[in-house]
A and B are shown apart, each in its own frame.
Chain A
Amino acid sequence: MSRRGRSTSGRLPLVLLLPALLGLAFLLVPLIGLLAKAPWSTLPGRLFSADVWQALRLSLVCATSATVLCLLLGVPLAWLLARGGLPGRSLIRAFVTVPLVLPPVVGGVALLLVLGRRGLVGEHLDAWFGISLPFTTAGVIVAEAFVAMPFLVISVEGALRAADPRYEEAAATLGAGRWLTFRRVTLPSIAPGVVAGTVLCWARALGEFGATITFAGNFPGRTTTMPLAVYLALETDPDVAVVLSLVLLLVSVVVLASLRERWISGLR
């Protein structure tokens, strides 16, 4: 780090390159650790057990449903924060980030206190409609959406604030209503931000553990997602936990890499 590299075109300054590589290595080393510890000889047998596929399928279904829920609620919320001109906006923004700061287990307890069978709202859901969210797949989706939504809202709000409002104004002067403007002008202009937020949101939902196991419990086929299966496998057979983690990692990397590539290239 001594030489202040007079970077010619295309060459990165050493001052940035070294910490960048260190950062990359820091993120990759735990993955290498998993790969090194993986029981490769017995891997196929362990992979093709019904439990693994059940947990994986449930994880994908729940993370995707939670992401859809976040999109439906989170994009309008981001719009409200960025364009709504609300009083006390910074306070509302702080509340949006609460699930980020809250330990997920605490988030799960909070959800139980509100949506549980004896919770503030859950009590009525149970009495009037016979709906009880804890211990159900719907409960998993709610828990994952609660924890993952801030990632989407913050990304989309950032994109909205960076977008040029003059296009929206131009659309308005041409007679477009607010909803039409939002759909045809605003949304396409912030699409990369929405995609980035969706990816983060989905990834967070896929890896969600604390709020899920606290709010929705753990039952195979109903609420046991991959992270829960990994945690319980770790109690008895760390090898299985490593295999499950690798499967989850592989699936998420493949999905994220391919989707992101397609979406972003399709948008340009």
Chain B
Amino acid sequence: MFRRTALAALAAVAALTLAGCGDDTPAASSSPSSSSSSSSTPALSGNISVFAAASLTGTFTQLGKGFEAANPGTKVTFNFAGSSALAQQINQGAPADVFASAAPKNMDQVTDKGTPTNFVKNTLEIAVPKGNPAKITGLKDFADKNKKIVLCAVQVPCGAAADKVFKATGITAQPDSLEQDVKAALTKVSLGEADAALVYKTDVLSAKDKVEGIQFPEASKAVNEYPIATLTKSKNPDLAKAFVDYVLSDKGKAVLSAAGFDAP
């Protein structure tokens, strides 16, 4: 077992070395099988991998289990990461069947895909440590230099949304750190290191034993839409479509709204 793994790694090294900087040829050879079962009662089987935004980790894991239970013989594996990283991986030929992005922008970056559907939206909320030690009351506290403020970097969706809110309200935020993703910003608050951060409502709910959420009216200025789409290079397009349908179904909506997502 170990030897085989080691050999595979060695082969990969050799291949990488020999291939040099050649173009990436996606190994996905569209298999002709399993395309005839599109008519009534399609017998779903096989595996798909779903690339989904990090903020969907909890809900999509749950949806994947539900989907597998409803369709015995199927297996859904997930790759959760920042939407922009996922879009790049897909364009570089990563074997993905479905992409769920936290922003339309990242969905647009992916070239070979079906028609995206917006399935949820997410609103910003102020996250403060349990008990709100710094007495944060609203967005204006983000301009206070004496408070430890954490935002997402503008390069990632939650940072772009925060930027939009501050521009719309004319508040000049005084952040101490611009975090690389929303979970990192949340961690700084849940550890009590930051007095406040701007994160999504769903993130506050996911950490509700450590952080408190404060809603603010200006959040409506920057609502984030989440699109989902099947990818045309999928080897199992029927299963990919079935999974997307499952996410859009009432069952899927129930799971997503329980986690704090709003209907699109």
Contact = CB atoms under 8 A, between A and B. Distances in A.
B193 A112 contact: yes
Contact of A214 (B16, B153, B184): B184
Contacts of B132: none
Contacts, number: 77
A215 to B, nearest CB: 9
Nearest to B149: A135
Contacts of B179: 213, 217-218
A20 to B, nearest CB: 12
Contacts of A113: 191
Contacts of A223: 177
Interface stretch (A69-77, A228-236, A259-267): A228-236
Interface string A220-248: 10010000100111111010000000000
Nearest to A233: B155
A223 B153 CA distance: 13
Contacts of B180: 213, 218, 228, 231-232
Interface range on chain B: under 10, 10 to 19, 20 to 34, or 35 or more?
A: 20 to 34
Contacts of B155: 232-233, 235-236
A57 interface: no
B192 A22 contact: no
A116 B191 contact: yes
A29 B187 contact: no
A109 interface: yes
A26 B11 CA distance: 12
B17 A112 contact: no
A241 to B, nearest CB: 10
Interface string B85-110: 10010000000000000000000000
Given A112-B193, A113-B191, A219-B175, 19 more contacts: A22-B14, A26-B17, A29-B16, A32-B21, A109-B187, A117-B148, A118-B193, A134-B188, A218-B178, A218-B179, A218-B180, A219-B176, A220-B178, A223-B177, A231-B180, A232-B153, A235-B82, A235-B153, A236-B155
Interface of B: 13-14, 16-17, 20-21, 82, 84-85, 88, 148, 150, 153, 155-156, 175-180, 184, 187-188, 191-193
